[in-house]
Amino acid sequence: MALTQLTVVDTAVDILQQFGLADLSMRRLAKELDVQVGALYWHVKNKQELLAQVAAKLLNTPQLSVKAEEFNAPADAILQLARNLYLALLPIQDSPEVIEVATAMQATELAPVLQLRELLEAAGLSSENARHGQQLLLNHILGSVAFRQNLVQLDVDSPISDGFDWALQRAVAGLVN
Amino acid sequence: MALTQLTVVDTAVDILQQFGLADLSMRRLAKELDVQVGALYWHVKNKQELLAQVAAKLLNTPQLSVKAEEFNAPADAILQLARNLYLALLPIQDSPEVIEVATAMQATELAPVLQLRELLEAAGLSSENARHGQQLLLNHILGSVAFRQNLVQLDVDSPISDGFDWALQRAVAGLVN
DNA sequence: ACCTGAACACCGTTCAAGT
DNA sequence: ACCTGAACACCGTTCAAGT
């Protein structure tokens, strides 16, 4: 199999999903691809950039986006999108850290995160306030996923409702009046 | 100077404040204390537990807490406490990661985080919903600090108002109706 | 009780040299 | 153009042995 940017990133996604971020090292990745570590650096600049591309692969899927016209209120579309993100990230170990790396270097556009802002504007917020609301909701999604995943690690039995949704509803209500 | 748990944790806090989490390694810490790495493990169980104690040192100061009776509405006390936390964590590099480690192992009680929940109960939330509201606000504080610190790292000029406070107000409004 | 010395099993990144 | 081999400068944790 030819070593390309695509195969590198896809294998990285695989390792992340199966074993978590702690096992997603450049060396482990090289071993999985049957090459030397140095070879990876011909296809990706560094680990940060790799993680940003992993995040893009995870989020830039049409499955996550939401069709605004299918909801009678923008707030409902926002709630649905936030839930989609939460549920998609939950089963992927350490996904919040990966997403944070990607948004920190803002090199990559994460479609559902952009849509979050668009929907807030559609709900009547100024473009500035839509950015701030986006931040609040993203913080809540990533923080809640991280918190839940930590519970699993300490194998506490996770209840079906973990309070994410209640707080999400209150936050959206506060944002769109 | 005698090597004790106290000196170990205090030196760790120093390194964190001056150089950030990347430089806070057990080896670097040992060097700073003029001992071998192994010696540290007599005084702390592992790095996780050390970070939890660092987090406690950072947050368990009366400066951060808020006197509820000085505010005419519980919501105002909540806002003040959240701002105190945000402003205290902002100058400490990578403080969100450290706090997250501490809350994840919940071995340590972080006073201001507890007060956040108490104030939400005082504002009329059920104890369950107060926990969920606490999660929302903590997620927003830590997420916003992390976001701002990443901007500094990429030396983008930080504006005075970064939207933290606007979103905070909307969130609190949504929580306490 | 407390610490040293040394090892074990890892990291990310770089780069001359090969093909 | 793409990859190997090998190095550089690190990690966290453990543990026999010393005092």
Which CATH number covers residue A93? 1.10.357.10
Q: Is B71 domain-assigned?
A: yes
Return phi, psi of residue B60, to 5°.
-80, 60
Q: What's the gap in Å between the CA of B4 and the closest CA on chain A? A: 29
Residues B98 and B37 in one domain: no
Q: Is B152 domain-assigned?
A: yes
The answer to whether B43 CB is within 7 Å of strand D is no
The pTM is what? 0.95
Q: The domain containing residue A166 runs over which residues?
A: 58-176
What is the predicted pLDDT for the residue at A108? 83
* pLDDT bracket for residue A2 (50, 70, 90): confident
Q: How far apart are CA A91 and CA A5, in angstroms?
A: 25
What is the predicted pLDDT for the residue at B151? 83
What is the predicted pLDDT for the residue at A153? 56
Rounded distance in angstroms from the CA atom of residue A7 to the C1' atom of nucleotide D3: 16
Of A131, A154, A175, the CB nearest to B170: A175
Name which of A45, A43, A57, A41 is nearest A109 in CA terms.
A57
Q: How far apart are CA A172 and CA A119, in angstroms?
A: 11
| Locus of tokens 């104690």 | B53
Summarize pLDDT for A89-107 with one digit per residue, the tens.
999 999 999 999 999 988 7
CA distances from A18 to A22, A63, B32 (A): 11, 21, 38
Q: Is B52 domain-assigned?
A: no
- Hey, are the CB atoms on B171 and A171 less than 8 Å from each other? yes
Of A103, A132, A171, the CB nearest to B136: A171
Q: Please list, in sequence order, all residues whose beta carbon lies within 8 angstroms of the beta carbon of residue B6, skipping any fewer than 6 positions away.
A: none
What's the token pair of residue A81? 């999108």
Q: Are B14 and B72 in contact (CB under 8 A)?
A: no
Other Cβ atoms less than 10 A from the Cβ of A123: the count is 18
Q: Is A49 domain-assigned?
A: no
CATH number at residue A13: 1.10.10.60
Residues A21 and A67 in one domain: no
Q: Is A159 domain-assigned?
A: yes
Q: How far apart are CA A95 and CA B81, in angstroms?
A: 29
Return phi, psi of residue A154, to 5°.
-90, 20
What is the predicted pLDDT for the residue at A151? 83
What is the predicted pLDDT for the residue at B153? 56
Q: Is B133 domain-assigned?
A: yes
What is the predicted pLDDT for the residue at A154? 55
Residues B25 and B64 in one domain: no
Summarize pLDDT for A110-129 with one digit per residue, the tens.
999 999 999 999 999 999 99
- Hey, are the CB atoms on A143 and B143 less than 8 Å from each other? yes
* pLDDT bracket for residue A162 (50, 70, 90): confident
Rounded distance in angstroms from the CA atom of residue A7 to the C1' atom of nucleotide C7: 37
Summarize pLDDT for A36-62 with one digit per residue, the tens.
999 999 999 999 999 999 999 999 999
Name which of B104, B177, B93, B91 is nearest B138 in CA terms.
B104
What is the predicted pLDDT for the residue at B177? 80
- Burial of residue B111, with CB atoms counted within 10 A of its CB: 0-12 exposed, 13-18 middle, 19 or more buried: middle
Other Cβ atoms less than 10 A from the Cβ of B60: the count is 15
Q: How far apart are CA B115 and CA B124, in angstroms?
A: 14
Residues B40 and B103 in one domain: no
Residues B35 and B72 in one domain: no
Q: Please list, in sequence order, all residues whose beta carbon lies within 8 angstroms of the beta carbon of residue B118, skipping any fewer than 6 positions away.
A: B130
Q: What angle do CA B105, A157, B46 make, to 5 degrees?
A: 20
Residues B34 and B85 in one domain: no
Residues A149 and A71 in one domain: yes
Side chain identity at A7, as an amino acid letter? T
Residues A102 and A151 in one domain: yes
Q: Is A75 domain-assigned?
A: yes
The number of domains in chain B is: 2
Q: How far apart are CA B70 and CA B72, in angstroms?
A: 7
Residues A64 and A20 in one domain: no
The low-confidence residues of chain B, meaning pLDDT below 50, are 160
pLDDT tops 60 at residue A74: yes
Q: What's the gap in Å between the CA of A67 and the closest CA on chain B? A: 25
CA distances from A55 to A48, A52, A88, A156 (A): 11, 5, 12, 27
- Hey, are the CB atoms on B171 and A173 less than 8 Å from each other? no
Q: Please list, in sequence order, all residues whose beta carbon lies within 8 angstroms of the beta carbon of residue A139, skipping any fewer than 6 positions away.
A: B139, B140, B142, B143, B144
Q: Is B50 domain-assigned?
A: no
What's the token pair of residue B37? 């790495």
Residues B19 and B105 in one domain: no
Residues A73 and A19 in one domain: no
Rounded distance in angstroms from the CA atom of residue A53 to the C1' atom of nucleotide D14: 37
Residues A81 and A156 in one domain: yes
Q: How far apart are CA B10 and CA B1, in angstroms?
A: 13
